Copies of this chain bind each other. A is one copy, B any other.
Amino acid sequence: MAEVRTRGGRPSGRVRLKDVARLAAVAPITVSRALQSPGRVSAEARLRIDAAIAATGYVPDLVAQSLVSNRTGMVGVVIPTIVDSIYASTIAAMSEVLRAHRAQLLLGDSGYSLAEEEAIAGAFLARRADALVLSTVAHTDRLRRLLSRAGVPVVETGNLTAEPIDMVVGLSNERAAFDMTRYLVERGHRAIGFIGAETGGNPQASDRQAGYRRALAASGLPLDERLVIEAPRELDGGSAALRTLLERGPGLDAVFAAGEVWAVGALLECLRRGVTVPARLAIAGFNDEMIAGQLVPPLTTVRIPRAEIGRRAAQMVVDRLRGRAVAPTTVDVGYEIVRRATA
């Protein structure tokens, strides 16, 4: 086997356009045209080319196509965490829309770290992702600069913002939390505890807490800071938070958990401790995920259209990449208070 000496990149070993062309006795460009716009190639040539493609098992090299077209057909998506099921349905919906348009999803999880988000998004840009989808609306300044310099379409998801980078699909977490808290007040609850995530660099978390605070104020209820708990995002976090709340607030009659992990964790803790729900303590959750609706008793919660967020975000990306104008650039997908048994 005489190794052919070459300069530059080494041959890949795969079947190339050139090989197909040789077999079909046409120029490479003709094969290219047969694939891209078959109408511009004679029927005979097309037949020979199709046969050659079938015979060789040729698969076009998207890397080479990307280099010349400046399009990779890849959309980078950064989520805070893969493990938490919250984002699964969003990702699934995005993936489906993208695949329908022959685009591919690049996934990265930031672990709720803005620095990681920046690093991942940077890697996506280095790979020339055609567009980026980010979770939440808080980002490092460097990432904002990077994005504006790159000029790629960006969709922020989850929370609405007054100053979007580009496009936004989300909802007002503040209003949703406000409404749910008001609902508890209307049901006659007066001492309402709160469980949520740490608010630092997480607008979704801080907005929900802010909504809770505003609702209490609007209802003329006192706010007891000791009843506002920031917990780790685990079932145990919810259980532990509930124990703390019961200790601190003897008169506690309701808990608003701004995430299903905490709500379910708190509910299960109540079952274990014999605290009757909702008779002695009402519980409200957020997200309507996991088995919220199937628990005994089923959980009252805020439903967010996760799949729709993914679908719309992907659709906006696709539209923009097709050169279509996207309007409006901010989409409010809303939310819904789901009244079940726990509150």
Chain A interface residues toward B at CB < 8 A: 8-10, 12-14, 57, 59-64, 66-70, 72, 74, 81-85, 88-89, 91-92, 95, 99, 102, 104-109, 120, 122-123, 125-128, 146, 149-151, 235, 239, 264-265, 268, 271-272, 290-291, 294-296
Distance to closest chain B CB from A259 (angstroms): 14
Q: How far is the CB of A274 from chain B (nearest CB, A)?
A: 11
Give 27 A-B contacts (CB < 8 Å), ordered by A residue.
Answer: A8-B68, A9-B67, A9-B68, A9-B69, A12-B70, A57-B146, A59-B122, A61-B128, A62-B126, A62-B127, A62-B128, A63-B66, A81-B92, A82-B92, A83-B89, A84-B88, A85-B85, A91-B107, A104-B127, A105-B106, A105-B108, A106-B106, A235-B294, A239-B294, A264-B291, A268-B295, A268-B296
A9→B8 CA distance, assembly (Å): 19
- Nearest CB to that of A76 among chain B residues? B104
Contact, CB under 8 Å: A91 / B95: no
Q: A126 vs B69: C-alpha distance in the bound complex, in angstroms?
A: 16
- Look across to chain B and name the residue whose beta carbon is closest to the beta carbon of A77: B107
- Which of A63, A84, A108, A235 has most B Cβ within 10 Å? A63
Given A82-B92, A92-B83, A123-B104, A64-B67 contact (CB < 8 Å) = yes
Say how far A117's CB is from chain B's closest CB, in angstroms. Answer: 13
A126 — which chain B residues lie within 8 A by C-beta? 59-62
Tell me if A104 and B104 are in contact (CB < 8 A). Answer: no
A-B complex: 7 closest residue pairs judged by Cβ atoms: A9-B68, A82-B92, A85-B85, A271-B296, A62-B127, A107-B107, A63-B66
**Chain B residues near A66 (CB-CB < 8 A):** 63
Are B128 and A107 touching (Cβ within 8 A)?
no
A9-B95 contact given A63-B127, A89-B83, A265-B294, CB 8 Å threshold: no
Considering the chains assembled together, what is the distance between the CA atoms of A1 and B123 in angstroms? Answer: 32
The chain B residue with its CB closest to the CB of A105 is B107
Q: Which residues of B lie under 8 Å from residue A62 when comparing CB positions?
A: 126-128
Given contacts A8-B68, A82-B89, A105-B106, 6 further A-B contacts (CB under 8 A): A9-B69, A59-B125, A62-B128, A95-B107, A99-B108, A272-B296
Q: Chain B residues with Cβ under 8 A from A291's Cβ? A: 235, 264, 268, 290-291
Nearest to A91 among chain B residues (CB) is B82
Using Cβ atoms and an 8 Å threshold, which residues of chain B touch A151?
13
Contacts of A84 in B (CB 8 A): 88
Q: Are B95 and A88 in contact (CB under 8 A)?
A: no
By the criterion CB–CB under 8 Å, are A67 and B67 in contact? yes
Q: CA of A108 to CA of B268 in the docked complex: distance in angstroms?
A: 35
Inter-subunit contact A72/B63 (CB<8 Å): yes
